Chain A
């Protein structure tokens, strides 16, 4: 049985949220009947991109009112697109907006939803996802049947759909006319060039080890991150001590990340931190204390002071990558 999938391509301020292509890739690996939905403002090129990456049909709601995500509006657009498409499954990347949207859709339909899936498989009439529970300390297979089958996908857990030169049909749709309770008063965006933690290939994180001079410590970490095109992370200890804002926190009460390379500088490796980064492909630990638990999950390590070691790594990267 070949289920038809509708994949939500999230945009923000006219830019695509890149992990959406992973949701498209996941759908294409499960079915050859995959359509996409792009909602936003001035997003014609993103719709073309979805077609090139293999969506047979791309529904587009391109409207100035959709520049910023609004749950009420986009939920109505998604319902319209599902009606037009007749898709039996709906996938989105597990971003904040994507998960809010998927959960709202599931609640309204009395349907199930597999949130934050690490893997997906389809079998006959049911969709099965692998999820982490107890903060990733137990894995479980979650299956849903019925229609629509809804899942959100952990960023960086699925291969993104590539440009295959597809020529899927682009179908314009009117923005659903709904009253929204959400009134956006202002919006402030990060400086461009800052890499998001959940989408980063490489993360350099700092912890309590910066304490003797937090400003200089994080300056070294940022310098290495800059040389690698990496995002900057931090342990809870560093955030709680006020060395760096919360949005950089990786771990239990921060972000869960899975980069190709995670460099932990001056982070001891409490279980709450490991819960946020132990799915990284390669982990590098730099710590003065050779007994630090971080070394038990690391692939590579240097026992030493990050104030000496991190600048040395930055210099080596610049030398060897230039």
Chain B
């Protein structure tokens, strides 16, 4: 069995509020970049698949040369191989196109594992877009893998307020949520191994992909209006403060 985790290097979530409209428009960010937190969960899921059902777990990303750091982090967590598709222009559809080509070229992938979304683009579109391009089933919001073998994978999905156990034939794509389990820490031995792994760098041309131009135009990047909240504090005993609060909320017509 071969599992391939698709990850993205994204800003450290603590630094997201610092990103200016100009930086967002140019894509040139001055913040610290790390593995997208949802993708750390995907790496964990990919490693658990390897441990529970055998096989190897690789990792792949689309990004600029600096994204190799994200791949090294995944290797340090235990992924066995890593590939960089060097491209910083593709939108979600272009990324799906590039990943689809790389997965076809790999030829052995049984399960693609992804995070639910990225903390920068926030679209959550790539897993489904990739599934359509490959013609593979896509299971989003996976909370638990129940079984996997050469022929099929069975998972639990969290959909709205329901839990759905569903089976699909492989090859397939899953995107995982946080219930899959806390991402493990890199081990000393894996960090040393990671430093020695040769990471192939592929271009769109290597994959025979003519990266499609963006399907949407983006304009007017801006910071959201600040909350004009000036906090009103209620003092006194808990009972007095609570009564004053409830009066204020009734006046706001939110109760």
- Decide whether A and B assemble into one complex: yes
| B234 lies within 8 A of A113 (CB) | no
B196 interface residue, CB < 8 Å from A?
A: no
**CA of A186 to CA of B160 in the docked complex: distance in angstroms?**
15
Contacts A140-B221, A303-B233 hold; do A249 and B238 have CB atoms under 8 A apart? no
| B231 lies within 8 A of A296 (CB) | yes
| B24 lies within 8 A of A134 (CB) | yes
Chain A residue at minimum C-beta to C-beta distance from B177: A246
Q: When the two chains form the complex, which single residue of B167, B169, B177, B234 contacts A300, counting CB atoms closer than 8 Å?
A: B234
| A247 lies within 8 A of B158 (CB) | yes
Chain A residue at minimum C-beta to C-beta distance from B162: A189
Q: When the two chains form the complex, which single residue of B24, B129, B137, B242 contacts A316, counting CB atoms closer than 8 Å?
A: B242
* B162 neighbours in A (Cβ, 8 Å): 12, 187-190
| A141 lies within 8 A of B166 (CB) | no
Contacts A252-B13, A300-B231 hold; do A103 and B125 have CB atoms under 8 A apart? yes
| B17 lies within 8 A of A271 (CB) | yes
| A116 lies within 8 A of B123 (CB) | yes
**CA of A97 to CA of B227 in the docked complex: distance in angstroms?**
31
A125 to nearest B CB, angstroms? 13
| B125 lies within 8 A of A113 (CB) | yes
A230 to nearest B CB, angstroms? 10
B249 interface residue, CB < 8 Å from A?
A: yes
| A312 lies within 8 A of B238 (CB) | yes
- Give the total of B residues in contact with A, Cβ under 8 Å: 79
Q: When the two chains form the complex, which single residue of A186, A201, A309 contacts B241, counting CB atoms closer than 8 Å?
A: A309
* B11 neighbours in A (Cβ, 8 Å): 134
| A100 lies within 8 A of B140 (CB) | yes
The secondary-structure label for the interface of chain A is mixed
| B24 lies within 8 A of A138 (CB) | yes
Chain A residue at minimum C-beta to C-beta distance from B133: A107
**CA of A139 to CA of B93 in the docked complex: distance in angstroms?**
20
Contacts A115-B123, A138-B222, A187-B165 hold; do A253 and B37 have CB atoms under 8 A apart? yes
A278 interface residue, CB < 8 Å from B?
A: yes
* A219 neighbours in B (Cβ, 8 Å): none
The 7 closest A-B pairs by CB, nearest first: A312-B242, A190-B161, A112-B215, A107-B132, A181-B137, A312-B238, A261-B254
21 of the cross-chain contacts (CB-CB < 8 Å) are A69-B159, A96-B140, A104-B129, A134-B16, A135-B119, A138-B19, A138-B21, A182-B168, A186-B165, A187-B162, A228-B255, A247-B161, A249-B178, A283-B227, A283-B229, A298-B231, A299-B231, A309-B241, A313-B245, A315-B239, A320-B250
Q: Known pairs A72-B137, A110-B215, A312-B239; list 19 more (Cβ under 8 Å).
A: A99-B125, A100-B128, A100-B140, A112-B215, A133-B24, A135-B120, A139-B220, A140-B221, A181-B168, A185-B166, A190-B161, A196-B160, A246-B177, A261-B249, A283-B229, A301-B232, A303-B233, A309-B238, A313-B246
B-contacting residues of A (Cβ < 8 Å)?
12, 17, 68-69, 71-72, 95-97, 99-100, 103-104, 106-108, 110-116, 131-144, 181-190, 194, 196, 201-202, 228, 239-240, 246-247, 249, 252-254, 260-261, 270-272, 275, 278, 281-285, 295-304, 308-309, 311-313, 315-317, 320-321
